[in-house]
Structure 1
Amino acid sequence: MVLRSKTSARLTAKDTVLLADFVNTTGDAVFDGTLKQALAVQLEQSPYLNIVPESKIREALRLMGKPPDERLTNDVAREICERQSIKAMLAGNIASLGDHYVITLAALNGANGDALAREQVEVDRKEQVLKALDKAASNLRQKMGESLSSVQQFATPLEQATTPSLDALQAFSLGQAEHLKTKDQAAIPHLRRAVELDPNFALAYATLGVACINTTRLTEGVEALKKAYELRDRASEREKLYIQAHYYEEVTWDMERTLSVYAEWRQTYPRDTLPYDNAALTYSILGQHEKALDFASRAMRLDPRDAFAYQNLGSAYLALNRLDEARSIADEAIAQKLDGSEVHTMLADIAYIRGDWTAYDRQIDWARGTQDEPFMLFWKAAGLAAKGQLNASHQTWQQTQLELTNAGLKDLSGALLTLEASNDALLGYPATGRQKASRALELSRDRDVRGLSAEAFAFTGDLAKSASLLADATRDFPDYRFLSHVLAPLVQSEEYLQKNQPDKAIAALEPARSYEMGTGPRSGGFMPNHLRGTAYLKLGDGVKAAAEFQRILDHQGVSAWDVVYPLARLNLGRALALQGENAKARTAYQDFFAAWKDADPDIPILKTAKAEYAKLN
C-alpha cells in the first residue's frame, strides 16, 4: 500500500537536492546506510534531479566545524541546506510495525522544513523492501517535477541496478562510502565482499575495478571491470555509462570510444562533473592539453569544490608549461583542503623544472609516513636519474621497490622496475637494464609489465627477447590498444634503429603519433619524438631531428623527470652540428652539461657527450 500526500511545490531542473541519511528504527543493522545508497542509485538515474555532490557536503560540514563523515541527520541536513541555499532535502525512514516494515520518503523545503512531497509504503517481508523503495522513489521523482516519460526512461529497477541482496548492498554501501572519500584501500575489502555475496552485482564490480586500479592492483582491477562490462545490462543508464567508460579506458585503452561515452554521458546528465573530469584526463593522455584544460575548467564551473577538476586543471597548465597558473591552482587546492598526492606531485614538478630544490624536497617530504610515500620516492628516483645522479637514483629505487613489495603491490613494483631498466639502458648500462627487466617479470606478469619489459629489452639491445615478449603480450591481450598503438610501435622503432633502418623506424612510429606528449603512466610521453628524432639523426637530417628534440624541450611539464628530457638537449646539439651550426650546437651541449653538473662522472652517455663536444671545439 502506498500513501501519497499533496505536493506543495515543484522543483526546477536548476534546483539542488540534498540526500539525508536514512533513519533506521528497526534494529536490523542490514538497513544502516544501505537504503540511502539504494535511494541514491535510484535518484541519480534522473537527468532532472540535481543531487548535491559529496564534495559540497564535506565542505559544508567543515565550515560547520563538523567532521567530514558526520552523519547527515535531518537537523544537520537542514542546516547545510540553509547555509548552501539548497532548495530541498530528501529524508527517509524505515520502521517496523509488527512483522511489517514501513518506509517513508519525504521531500522537505530546505529553508523551513515544510513537506514538498511524501511517499509511504508498507511491506510484510524484508525481501520486499528494495522493490517498495524503488516504487516510492519513482513516485516521488514525479511529484518533485520530473516528467512521467523521464521517470519511465531512467528508472532501472533497484534490484537490477544494484542487487536483490540486502547484505551485498550493505557491503557495497560501506565500500562506496570509503571510495567517495578517496580511501580506496579501505573500500576494497567491502567491495570484494559485495561481489562475493552477489556475483551478478555489476556496479560493485565496477567500483571494485576502479578502486583496485587507483591503488595499482592492476590485474584484479582489469578483471573486475571486465566482469562489470559483461553485466552492464544489470545497471542503471547512468551506471552503465560509468562501466562502459572505464572498460574502454582501462581494459581496452580505446580512447576514442572512451571519449564517445563521456560525450553521451554529458548530453544525458549535463550537471554531472564526472564525464567532464574524466574527459579532461583522457585528453591529457592523448597529449591534447588545451582540450584537457577546457574540460577541467567546465568541471570546475559545475562544482568549484571538485578535487578532480583542480588536479586536471593544474596538470593541463603544467603540460602546457604555464607554470605560474599550475602553481596557483595547486595552492588553491591546498587552501581548500582538496590536495592529495597528485597536487603535491604537481608542485614537485614545478619546483624541479625551476630548480627550487628546497620547495622540491618539501613536496617529497609531504608524503613521508603515508601510503603515498612510495609514489613520491619513485618520482624522486626518476628525478635523480634525469639529473645524471644514477647512484643516488638506484638507492632510492631500491627503497621504493622494498616498500611496494612489502605492501603487496607487485604489479606496480614490476612496472616501475621496467622504467628503471629503460633509464639504465638509455644512459649506457644495457647489462643492468636487462637484469632489472628480468626481475620485473619475476615480480609480475601484468600486461603493462610485459609490454614495458619488451621496451626495456629493446633499449638494451636484446631484440630477440624484446620481440618474443611483445608477441606473447599482444597474443594474450589482442584488444589492449596501449600495447598495439603505443608500446609495439616504440619497440619496433627501436629495433629498426638498432638494425640501422631509420626510415622504417620512422614509419613504425605512426600509430603512436596520436599519443605523443601525453601524460600519465600509460601514454606516449616524449618517447615517440625521441625515437623519431634519433632516426632523423641517423638519416643525417639535422633540421627534422632538431624539430623533434626541440618539441620535447618546449614541453618539460609533460614529464618533468623523464630521463629523455635532458637527452633532448644533447641530441639537439647533435642535430645542430649536422646542420653546420657549431656555435648553436656548443650551446646545446653546454646546456646539457649544466643540467648534469652534479651527475656521476662515469655515465657512458656523459663521456660520449664530452668527447663529441671536444670535437666541436
Structure 2
Amino acid sequence: MRVGSTGTRWPMTPCTGPSAMAATVSSGWTDGRMQDAGAPQVRTLLLTDLVDSTHLVERLGDAPAAALFRAHDRLVLELQQRWRGRLIDRSDGLLLLFERPIDGLAFALDYARGLRDLGREMQVKQPLQARAGLHVGEVLVWENSADAVRLGAKSLEVEGLAKPLAGRLMALARPGQILLSATAEPLAHRAARELGERGELLVWKSYGRWRFKGIPEAQEVYEVGEPGLAPLRMPAHTPKAWRDLPLWRRPVALAAEALLVAGMAIGAWFLAQPKPAIAFAERDWVVVGDLRNLTGDARLDEALEQAFRISLEQSRYVNVLGDLKVRDTLQRMQRKPDAAVDRALGSEIALRDGARALLLPTVAEVGGRLRVSAEVVDPHTQTTVYAVSADGKGIESALGSIDDVTDQLRGKLGEALQNVQKTSVPLPNVATPSLDALKAFAVARRLAMTTGDREQVLGLYRRALQLDPQFALAHADMARLHASLGEVAAARDEWRRALALPQRLSPQERQMIELMLLQHDGPQNYFRKADEYLALYPDDYQTIGRLSSNQWHQRNDFRTAEALARRALKPQNERFGSVHYSIGIMLLGQERYDAALAEFRLARETGFLGAGEFYAFAHEARHQFAEADKVFFASAVGRTGWQGEAGAIVWINRGQPARAAAAVRAWSEAADAGDDVLESLRAGAALASMAVLHGQGDASEAQQALLALVDAKGAAGDAVYPPLSTELKLYSGLLSAYRNDRSGVEDALRRTQDNAVVHEYPTVRELYQVLQAEQERLAGQPRLAMARLEPLVRQDTALVATHWALMRAAHAAGRADVANAQAEWLATHRGRVFAESTMSDVLRFFNISVSAAALRSQQARMRAGTVTP
C-alpha cells in the first residue's frame, strides 16, 4: 500500500536515529579523524570574534585578563560538548565545525549569553560581546601529520570557499550580532523548535542581498538573536561588505557617477550587441533539443546528446528539463514520444513547461576539425539569441568540446565564471572518456524510459561498464532501475559501487547517492542530509517527493509532508500528477476530505492513475461506498472486486469480516506462492488481525503462526526494511493487549527491548510505549498508563493505537471523560485512520477495526439517546 512520489510501491527505509547520530559524533569528531581532503564535505562553519579584546587586556592587566580568558576557554569547551562542535582554530576568535546548522546557531546563542554572564561575574566594566558568522557549505578537511603538529601546526585543516564567506559574515556583524547565510538560515529556522521554548522567542531578520569582497555572487544575509541581547538591526557597510542596492537607492554622488558611466556603456553595448538577450535568472529552466549530428558517425548520435546533458546538469544555476518530462509533454501534445525536439517543437515544450530557453546542440566537421556548437533560442520568437562553439581535432575531442560549450552557455545565461569553474567536472571524469561506453549508457537510459525491458537495459549498462569499469554513473543508473523495481538490496549494492568511485561523480551525484544510501539506516541522519542537499539543489523534485513520503511513513507528520509535496508541485516536474495524489493522501490524514478529493481528481486529470486505493479511501472514510467502488475500479482495467490488502481494509470498514477474511486468505496464498517476503509477512499479520479482532479463526494459533513467520522470514525482511520484524513483533503484542493477554504483551516487550530500532524509528518507539502502557493497565496501574500516554496524544503525529490505549486505560481508571473523548476521536478521525502509515503498514488493519467499533458504539448511543449527534 505504500506509495512514494511516483505513486507506486517503493522501499522507504530511512536513516539512523539519535543513537546513531551520537555514534557519528563520537567516531567522526572527537577522535579528530575525518575524510581526506580529496572528498569535499558539507559542514556548518561558525566564526566568532571577541570584540575589542586587545583593549580589554590593556584595561584589565595581564593577570586579570588571563583569569578571564581561562574562564572563557572553559565556557567554549562546555558549549562545544553540549552542541557537538569541533574547534578548528582560535586566537581572538573561534572557528568551529558542526554537523548541523541548528547546533552551530545554538552554540552562538549560548556563547553570546555566556559572554554577558561572564563579564558580569568577572566585573568587567565593558560588555563582553562577540561577532558571529554562520554558513553551510562544502569544505575540504584534512589532518596534519603528528610531526607537523609537534612543530606548531593545527591538528586539523579546513579550507574552501565556505570559510571566507563565514568570515565575511562575521566581520560584517555588529558586536553581539549573529549573521547567517541564505544556506544556513532555512536549515536552522526549520529546526529551531529543537531549542524548546527558547527557539520560539528568537527573532529572525532578513537584511537583503550583500556583496562581499572576493565572493563572486551577492549573498542574502540574515540575523538571528534574542531580544535584549542581540542588536537586531541592519549591519553597517565595511570596505569588504556592502549592500547590493539598485542605483536609485544609492547615495546621490555615486548615482551621478554611475549614470555617466552607464550611459557610455549602454551606448557601446547597443552598437556592439544588436541581438536580444533572454531575461534568464538563477534556477530558471532550459529545454535541451535533440542533437543534430552532421558528421555521419552513428557513435555520436545519442552519446553526445547525453554528454551534453550530463555536463550542463552540473550547474546549480541552470535547471535542465528532464527527458521523462519532455516525453510526458509530447504525449500531452498528442505527439509521438520519439518525435524530434527541434526548434519549433522544443520552443512549444519550453512554453508549456515554463522553461526560459531552448538549447539546440550540433556536432559537425568544419575544415577538417570536429565542431560542437549550441544555440540559445528564445521560445517565444524561436529566434537564436546567441550561439557558442568549440573546435577540436578528431572524434576524441568531442567530450572536451562539449565541456567548453556548456561552460560558455552557463556564462552567457548569467552564471558567474567563478561558480562555473568551481562546479564543473570534466566529462571524461564525471562520465566516461569512452564514446562507445557513453553510447551504450545513452541507449540504456532511453530504453529504460520506453520499453521497460529490465534485462535489456541492465545488459546495456553492463556493456558500458565492460568498456569502462570506472563508469560510476552506470552503477548509479543501475541502482535507480533496481530501486524502481523494488529490488532494494541490488540497488544498495550498485550505489555503493558508484560511491566507491568518487572521482568519477559530480558533487551533486555524489551527495545524491550518499542520501539514497542513508535511506537504509534510520530517520535522523536521512532528514538532516536531505535538508542539506535541498539547500544546495532546491529544484530536485524527486528528492523533495521522497522526503515528503518519508515524513509520512516514518513520522506521520501530515502537515510537514504536505508542505514538502507542494514544493514539488511545479510544471517542470515529470511526476506532477503523482504529487497531486500524494498531497491528497496528506490532506486525508488531516481530515480535509473535500480538499483531498479535489487533489485526487487533479491527479487523474493530469494523467496519473496510480493504484487508486487512497482516492477510494477518502470516500470509504465517509461511508460513501458506491463512490469508493467507482473511483477504485476506474483506476485499472480488469478490476472486478476488492481483493488483497485493500479488500481486507474495505470489508472490515463495511462490517463484513467474513469477506475481509476471504480476501486476506487469498492474499496470503498468493504471497506464499511468490518470493515477496514483505507481502508474506504483512499477509501473515492480516491473518492474525482477522482472527483476533473479528473472530475469523483461532486467535492464539494465528498469533503463534505470525511469530513463527517473523522468526523464519524477519531477517530477510529487515534487509529491505530494517524496522520490519521489530514492528511485527510489537504488533503481535498489540493484538495480545486487545485480548487482555498480559503474557503476550510482556513477551513482545521482551523480544524487542534491546533493539536499536525501537529508539531510532519514531512510530516503532511509540508503539513500544503503547505496549508498556497496556502492560501497566493489565497490572492494575491504569493511571500510570494514562500518565505515559497523555503526552503522546497531544501531538498531531500520535498513532491511532495510542488513542485506543488511552481510552482503555482511562476506562479502567474510572475516568469516563477521558475515555469518552478518546472514543470520540477514534470515531471521528476517519481520514487519519485510513492514511496513517508505518514501515510495515500492518497497523492499518487494527486502526480500521477499532475505529469502526468506536463508530458503531457512537451510533448505538445516539440511537439510544445517550449522546447527541
- Cα distance change, pair 307–572 in 1 and its aligned pair in 2 (3 A): closer
Does 1:340 find its partner at 2:610? yes
Q: Which structure shows the bigger proportion of residues in helix conformation?
A: 1
CA contact (8 A) 1:100 1:124 kept: yes
Q: Distance in 2 between matches of 1:390 and 1:374?
A: 16
Does 1:80 find its partner at 2:349? yes
Does 1:446 find its partner at 2:724? no
CA deviations on 1:144-198 (whole Å, 9 max, x unpaired) are 3211122123223444544556566556545655777896978974697489657
Residue 353 of structure 1 corresponds to: 621
Match of 1:481 among 748, 756, 761: 761
CA contact (8 A) 1:176 1:187 kept: no
Does 1:290 find its partner at 2:290? no
CA deviations on 1:476-498 (whole Å, 9 max, x unpaired) are x7996368645654565556666
Partner amino acid, structure 2, of 1:563:
F
Match of 1:530 among 786, 789, 804: 804
Does 1:556 find its partner at 2:830? yes
Partner amino acid, structure 2, of 1:338:
F
Q: Distance in 2 between matches of 1:145 and 1:238?
A: 21
Residue 144 of structure 1 corresponds to: 413
Q: Is the partner of 1:251 in helix, strand or coil?
A: coil
Does 1:414 find its partner at 2:414? no
Q: Which structure shows the bigger proportion of residues in strand conformation?
A: 2
Q: Is the partner of 1:114 in helix, strand or coil?
A: strand
Q: Distance in 1 between matches of 2:769 and 2:470?
A: 38
Deviation at 1:349, TM superposition (A): 0.8
Match of 2:649 among 367, 382, 385: 382
Q: Is the partner of 2:621 in helix, strand or coil?
A: helix
- Cα distance change, pair 229–257 in 1 and its aligned pair in 2 (3 A): farther
Partner amino acid, structure 2, of 1:288:
D
Q: How does 1:151-162 map to 2 (within 5 A)?
A: 151-162=420-431
Partner amino acid, structure 2, of 1:380:
G
- Cα distance change, pair 67–431 in 1 and its aligned pair in 2 (3 A): farther
Residue 51 of structure 1 corresponds to: 320
Q: Distance in 2 between matches of 1:7 and 1:431?
A: 84
Partner amino acid, structure 2, of 1:418:
A
Partner amino acid, structure 2, of 1:352:
E
CA contact (8 A) 1:232 1:243 kept: no
Residue 850 of structure 2 corresponds to: 567
Q: Is the partner of 1:106 in helix, strand or coil?
A: strand
Q: How does 1:428-443 map to 2 (within 5 A)?
A: 429-439=699-709, 442=712
Residue 615 of structure 1 corresponds to: none
Q: Distance in 2 between matches of 1:176 and 1:494?
A: 53
Partner amino acid, structure 2, of 1:65:
Q
Q: Distance in 1 between matches of 2:769 and 2:439?
A: 46
Q: Is the partner of 1:118 in helix, strand or coil?
A: strand
Deviation at 1:97, TM superposition (A): 9.1
Q: How does 1:201-216 map to 2 (within 5 A)?
A: 208-209=478-479, 211-216=481-486
Q: Distance in 1 between matches of 2:465 and 2:792?
A: 40
Q: How does 1:459-608 map to 2 (within 5 A)?
A: 459=734, 461=736, 462=744, 466=748, 470=752, 474=755, 481=761, 485=765, 488-489=768-769, 525-560=799-834, 562-568=845-851, 570=853
Q: Distance in 2 between matches of 1:302 and 1:245?
A: 25
Q: Distance in 1 between matches of 2:634 and 2:354?
A: 36
Q: Distance in 2 between matches of 1:309 and 1:147?
A: 33
- Cα distance change, pair 421–122 in 1 and its aligned pair in 2 (3 A): farther
Q: Distance in 2 between matches of 1:104 and 1:411?
A: 51
Q: Is the partner of 2:659 in helix, strand or coil?
A: helix
Deviation at 1:18, TM superposition (A): 0.6
Deviation at 1:215, TM superposition (A): 3.8
CA contact (8 A) 2:609 2:635 kept: no
Deviation at 1:241, TM superposition (A): 4.3
CA deviations on 1:327-348 (whole Å, 9 max, x unpaired) are 122212212213322xx22221
CA deviations on 1:315-372 (whole Å, 9 max, x unpaired) are 222112121121122212212213322xx222211221232333322344345568x9
CA contact (8 A) 1:450 1:469 kept: no
Q: Is the partner of 1:340 in helix, strand or coil?
A: coil
Q: Distance in 2 between matches of 1:194 and 1:376?
A: 42
Partner amino acid, structure 2, of 1:154:
T
Residue 13 of structure 1 corresponds to: 281
CA contact (8 A) 1:44 1:238 kept: no
Partner amino acid, structure 2, of 1:544:
V
- Contiguous gaps of at least 5 residues in structure 2: 1-272, 737-743, 835-843
Higher relative contact order (CA 8 A, sep 6+): 2
Bigger radius of gyration, 1 or 2?
2
TM-score, normalised with respect to structure 2: 0.55
Does 1:61 find its partner at 2:330? yes
Q: Distance in 2 between matches of 1:183 and 1:512?
A: 46
CA deviations on 1:85-104 (whole Å, 9 max, x unpaired) are 75422223446799986544
Q: Distance in 1 between matches of 2:472 and 2:456?
A: 16
Residue 667 of structure 2 corresponds to: 400
Deviates more, 1:479-488 or 1:321-330: 479-488
Match of 1:324 among 589, 594, 611: 594
Deviation at 1:39, TM superposition (A): 2.7
Q: Distance in 2 between matches of 1:30 and 1:510?
A: 67
Q: Is the partner of 2:703 in helix, strand or coil?
A: helix
Partner amino acid, structure 1, of 2:384:
D
Partner amino acid, structure 2, of 1:567:
V
CA contact (8 A) 1:415 1:452 kept: no
Aligned length: 566
Q: Distance in 1 between matches of 2:726 and 2:353?
A: 50
Partner amino acid, structure 2, of 1:50:
N
Residue 609 of structure 1 corresponds to: none
Q: Distance in 2 between matches of 1:30 and 1:410?
A: 43
Q: Is the partner of 1:354 in helix, strand or coil?
A: coil
CA RMSD of aligned residues (A): 4.7
Partner amino acid, structure 2, of 1:114:
T
- Cα distance change, pair 169–290 in 1 and its aligned pair in 2 (3 A): same
Does 1:112 find its partner at 2:382? yes
Q: Distance in 2 between matches of 1:183 and 1:571?
A: 46
- Cα distance change, pair 549–212 in 1 and its aligned pair in 2 (3 A): farther
Partner amino acid, structure 1, of 2:681:
G
Q: Distance in 1 between matches of 2:469 and 2:749?
A: 39
Deviation at 1:69, TM superposition (A): 4.8
Q: Distance in 1 between matches of 2:782 and 2:446?
A: 54
Q: How does 1:164-203 map to 2 (within 5 A)?
A: 169=438, 173=442, 176-177=445-446, 189=458, 193=462, 197=466
CA deviations on 1:103-145 (whole Å, 9 max, x unpaired) are 444333433342612223425465x654543343223212332
CA deviations on 1:1-21 (whole Å, 9 max, x unpaired) are xxxxx9954551165311123
CA contact (8 A) 1:433 1:457 kept: yes
CA contact (8 A) 1:271 1:302 kept: no
Deviates more, 1:218-227 or 1:392-401: 218-227
Q: Is the partner of 2:569 in helix, strand or coil?
A: helix
- Contiguous gaps of at least 5 residues in structure 1: 1-5, 519-523, 577-581, 592-617
Q: Distance in 2 between matches of 1:151 and 1:347?
A: 46
Q: Distance in 2 between matches of 1:467 and 1:86?
A: 56
- Cα distance change, pair 22–541 in 1 and its aligned pair in 2 (3 A): farther
Q: How does 1:247-258 map to 2 (within 5 A)?
A: 247-248=517-518, 250-254=519-523, 256-258=524-526
Q: Distance in 2 between matches of 1:199 and 1:487?
A: 47
CA deviations on 1:569-590 (whole Å, 9 max, x unpaired) are 646999x9xxxxx967977999
Q: Distance in 2 between matches of 1:230 and 1:537?
A: 58
CA contact (8 A) 2:609 2:636 kept: no
- Cα distance change, pair 273–104 in 1 and its aligned pair in 2 (3 A): same
Q: Distance in 1 between matches of 2:630 and 2:292?
A: 46
CA contact (8 A) 1:553 1:565 kept: no
Q: Distance in 1 between matches of 2:470 and 2:864?
A: 65
Partner amino acid, structure 1, of 2:602:
E
